[in-house]
């Protein structure tokens, strides 16, 4: 039983957060206090807190402690290809897109690797902050091959780029590979998003392909940790 103490701590606190017993912003007891309360080691407590952190229940601020996050989140599908406008429409909440930059520029070494194109190939760079209910909670950094997407503007970027690509340009967007990670937030994140004191951010890297299997878009979508959960449907295949 002792080896499962960390799960007991995790379950008790996650349940209290889900039920609203612990409100967003509530500071949890320190590692020492929890170790004493559960008659266990600080290492075991740290394991439980790290699990709560990874699951998005708490935010750990160095020198200050662990704080409960808002668990009111919007589902963001892992397997689907959906635009922000399409997602916002399903939420029914006030939303808008703030276009920070739309520019055609040569691809540097890192971006050229991501898009699998020669160095200095012209690429459209679009940076947009996404606002829902008057909070900027997503930073999208999109890069498009200019030989496939010859023109973009701030006006197009403010609406739905996918609608423009599919309706106006007739592109057949087919599938994407996605990589999801939790990373330390950057100065740019704090400048363009309402991150408050959150120290980490969810990063979704998308590699988007056309129907003919050509990679034409690379996106880095940076989400505020407390507002999103990524959902998928999985079925066990028996062999």
What tokens were used for 12? 């008790």
User: pLDDT for 115-156, tens place per residue?
Assistant: 999 999 999 999 999 998 889 999 999 999 999 999 999 999
Q: Are 157 and 126 in contact (CB under 8 A)?
A: yes
Per-residue confidence (pLDDT) for residue 32, from 0 to 100:
94
The CATH number of domain 2-68, selected from 3.40.710.10, 2.60.120.10, 1.10.10.10, 1.10.340.30 = 1.10.10.10
**Cα–Cα distance measured from residue 207 to residue 204, given in angstroms and rounded to the nearest whole number:** 10
H helices present in the chain, as ranges:
5-19, 31-37, 42-54, 84-91, 109-115, 154-158, 161-163, 187-192
In angstroms, the CA 173 to CA 178 distance is 15
Q: Where in the chain is the domain with CATH 3.40.1410.10?
A: 74-231
- Local confidence band at 86 (pLDDT 50, 70, 90 cut-offs): low
79-96 average pLDDT score: 63
pTM over 0.85: no
User: Sign of dihedral through CA atoms 179, 132, 85, 96?
Assistant: negative
| pLDDT exceeds 50 at position 1 | no
The one-character DSSP state at 4 is G
What is the predicted pLDDT for the residue at 25? 84
What sign has the CA pseudo-torsion 25, 27, 28, 31?
Answer: positive
Residues carrying CATH 1.10.10.10, the chain: 2-68
pLDDT band at 64 (very low <50, low <70, confident <90, very high): confident
The CATH class that applies to domain 74-231 reads: alpha beta
């Amino acid at each position: 039983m002792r080896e499962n103490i960390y799960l007991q701590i995790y379950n008790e606190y996650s349940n209290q957060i889900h039920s609203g017993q612990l409100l967003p912003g509530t500071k949890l007891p320190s590692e020492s206090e929890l170790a004493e309360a559960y008659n266990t080691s600080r290492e075991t407590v740290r394991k439980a807190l790290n699990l709560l952190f990874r699951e998005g229940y708490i935010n750990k601020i160095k020198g200050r402690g662990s704080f409960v996050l808002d668990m009111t989140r919007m589902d963001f599908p892992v397997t689907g290809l959906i635009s922000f406008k399409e997602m916002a429409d399903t939420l029914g909440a006030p939303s808008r897109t703030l276009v920070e930059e739309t520019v055609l520029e040569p691809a540097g070494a890192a971006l050229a690797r991501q898009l699998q194109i020669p160095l200095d190939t012209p690429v459209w760079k679009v940076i947009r902050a996404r606002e829902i209910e008057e909070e900027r909670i997503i930073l999208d950094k999109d890069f498009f091959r200019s030989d496939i997407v010859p023109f973009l503007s701030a006006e197009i970027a403010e609406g739905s780029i996918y609608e423009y690509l599919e309706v106006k340009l007739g592109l057949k967007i087919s599938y994407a590979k996605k990589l999801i990670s939790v990373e330390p937030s950057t100065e740019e994140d704090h400048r363009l998003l309402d991150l408050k004191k959150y120290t980490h951010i969810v990063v979704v890297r998308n590699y988007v392909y056309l129907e003919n299997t050509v990679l034409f878009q690379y996106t880095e979508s940076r989400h505020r940790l407390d507002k999103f959960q990524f959902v998928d449907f999985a079925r066990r295949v028996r062999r």
